[in-house]
Amino acid sequence: MQTTSPSFPSNARQALADPDLQQALTKMKVGFVVNRANAVAKLPEFDTLRDEGRDIKNHVLSNLDTYLERFEAKVTENGGHVHWCRTADEARRTILDICRSVDAKTVTKGKSMIGEEIGINDFLEENGVTPVETDLGEYIIQLRKEPPSHIIAPAIHVPKEKVAESFFETHDQLDADRNLDEPRALVDEARSMLRQKYLDADVGITGANFLIAETGSTVIVTNEGNGDLTQTLPKIHIVTASLEKIVPTLEDASTILRLLARSATGQEFSSYTTFSTGPRRPEDADGPEQFHVVLLDNGRSALLGTEFQDILRCIRCGACMNHCPVYGAVGGHAYGWVYPGPMGAVLTPTLIGVDQAAHLPNASTFCGKCQQVCPMHIPLPKLMRHYRERAFERGLTPGTLRAGLKMWAFFARRPRLYQFFAGLKMRALAAAGRRRGRFKSLPLAGGWTRHRDMPAPQGATFQQQWDAAGGAR
């Protein structure tokens, strides 16, 4: 997928001025946050399960080779195939080859972030295979030719009137005077339009929430049932999964499943959780004849043993973005690639390079809420800070910022000088701002005062107040 991450600042400005988006985000901040809090409150064991979930993933990451080999052996034993792919390009070609082996015309797709990451839809289309997204949100954004703006609610930015617009335009065989005012009518129309597509498709592609080493199973978690129709009806089921999705046993998957839906939508369990193990058995009446797992690395193995390894625990619940004040203000598209919000701010520089995505780790107030709600205890602010450091080391930080930091560092290493000038500045600002109590504009601080007032200092620095209050040194 093409990135617009380098233009995050202008993307964000546009997003702030988009009334539809702002309305959708306002709704999201209430819905997801309240629902999650309610679900967590109903499970007293939630925090213990978080610790256990983190430990499972840490254990897997320190034995990833063994678990992947075990998984592969099991898939093969069950009659399936595992395809190892280093890059997005290898994954795309592998999928196309499988499609071509049965002369596939159409491919149905369950929602998959790996599918977005490797840009599979455009690639298939360019090569004469028509991909049909079946998750309602993904279907909507496919019609609108947009990328997802949220990892679990891809069309969260689209108001229902715009959905109706796309449906009128695309489903032009239907009565032009039909009523599509309400979500119910839209859902019913998508259901009936996609029905035949499931039955006609030659290949079904889904993602995976988990891979199980014990059994060679792949797991999808959905609410609509589209993923199950996608993987049950066509001749071939292709699973796209990144390699860190693996867990040892069905029990380990169950532990993490207790965290997933609650963190994501606030449900106790999603409507459908499906464990798929190989192709149709000889005596089965239905199910795919072929079962392929496209196992994608795309830079993840290089994170093992580094300070960024923790991001590989991510289970893609979306809680970090649901609770993020920056995501809540600008939405997902501003981030400019597949993964938005705090997890995206860490994963995107990893996958497309810090030079492309240097803005993203800065798109954070470091309020820490993302880490607080992360079911896998990923220290997201710390990881973003590592990327800020990298960007600085590589000279990607703007010159003015570098000069400012250099000046600050000069004083910070000379405490007497620092305290002297800080004290001087506080007294000056206090005197200048005494009348109004705040500043509408300040030299060198336009970035701040353009959007809000700066409160006037009270005349003493923090260190002076600390000493005055008898604080320990």
Partner 1 sequence: MTDSARARAQILGMIRKGKASQTPDGQSPDERIDAKRRGTIPARVDKDHAALVELFVDHATALSATVSRVDDESEIPGAVADYLAGENLPATLCAAPDPALQALPWDTRPALTVRYGRSDGADEVSLTPAFAAVAETGTLMLRSGPDHPTTLNFLPDTHVVVLRESQIVGPYEEAWDRLRAAGPIPRAVNFVSGPSRTADIEQTIQLGAHGPRRLHIVLVQDGEGESDGG
| Binding to partner 1, residues 90-149 (CB under 8 A) | 90, 94, 134-137, 140
Closest CB to partner 1 among residues 11, 231: 231
Residue 110 makes CB contacts below 8 A (sequence gap 6+) with 134, 135, 204, 205, 206, 207, 220, 222, 226, 227, 230, 231
Write out the binding residues for partner 1, residues 399-458 only, by CB under 8 A: none
**Residue 234 corresponds to which tokens in the numbers above?**
């066509």
Q: Is 22 in the site for partner 1 (CB under 8 A)?
A: no
CB of 147 to partner 1, least distance (A): 15
DSSP per-residue letters across 249-311: -HHHHHHHHHHHHHHHTS-SS-SEEEEE-SS--TT-SSS-SEEEEEEE-TTSGGGTTSTTGGG
Binding region for partner 1 (CB under 8 A) out of 48-56, 98-106, 366-374, 377-385: 48-56
Write out the binding residues for partner 1, residues 200-229 only, by CB under 8 A: 213-215, 217, 223-226, 228-229
Cβ(263)–Cβ(373) below 8 Å = yes
Distance CA 335, CA 316 (A): 16
Residue 362 makes CB contacts below 8 A (sequence gap 6+) with 384, 388
Q: Is 189 in the site for partner 1 (CB under 8 A)?
A: no
Write out the binding residues for partner 1, residues 241-270 only, by CB under 8 A: 243, 248-252, 254-255, 257-258, 265, 267-270
Which among 314, 358, 308 has a CA at the least distance from the CA of 336? Answer: 358
Cβ(108)–Cβ(198) below 8 Å = yes
Q: Is 232 in the site for partner 1 (CB under 8 A)?
A: yes
With CB under 8 A as the contact rule, the residue among 100, 105, 178, 281 that binds partner 1 is 281
Chain-centroid distance, C-alpha 288: 30
**Residue 144 corresponds to which tokens in the numbers above?**
């609108």
Closest CB to partner 1 among residues 109, 359: 109
Cβ(460)–Cβ(419) below 8 Å = no
153-157-159-162 Cα dihedral, nearest 10 degrees: -100
Cβ(64)–Cβ(347) below 8 Å = no
Distance CA 325, CA 331 (A): 10
Closest CB to partner 1 among residues 183, 471: 183
Instruction: Tell me the number of residues near partner 1 by CB under 8 A.
Output: 104
CB of 154 to partner 1, least distance (A): 8
Distance CA 92, CA 89 (A): 5
Write out the binding residues for partner 1, residues 152-171 only, by CB under 8 A: 153-156, 158-160, 163
Binding region for partner 1 (CB under 8 A) out of 23-31, 168-176, 323-331, 399-407: 23-31
With CB under 8 A as the contact rule, the residue among 191, 402, 414, 440 that binds partner 1 is 191
Main-chain dihedrals φ then ψ at residue 108, nearest 5 degrees: -90, 150
Q: Is 286 in the site for partner 1 (CB under 8 A)?
A: yes
Closest CB to partner 1 among residues 81, 427: 81
Closest CB to partner 1 among residues 189, 429: 189
Binding region for partner 1 (CB under 8 A) out of 44-52, 404-412, 428-436, 451-459: 44-52
Write out the binding residues for partner 1, residues 288-347 only, by CB under 8 A: 297, 301-306, 309
Closest CB to partner 1 among residues 144, 427: 144
With CB under 8 A as the contact rule, the residue among 128, 183, 353, 404 that binds partner 1 is 183
Cβ(121)–Cβ(216) below 8 Å = no
Closest CB to partner 1 among residues 143, 360: 143
Write out the binding residues for partner 1, residues 49-78 only, by CB under 8 A: 49, 52-53, 56, 58-59, 62-70
End-to-end CA distance of the chain: 53
Q: Is 233 in the site for partner 1 (CB under 8 A)?
A: yes
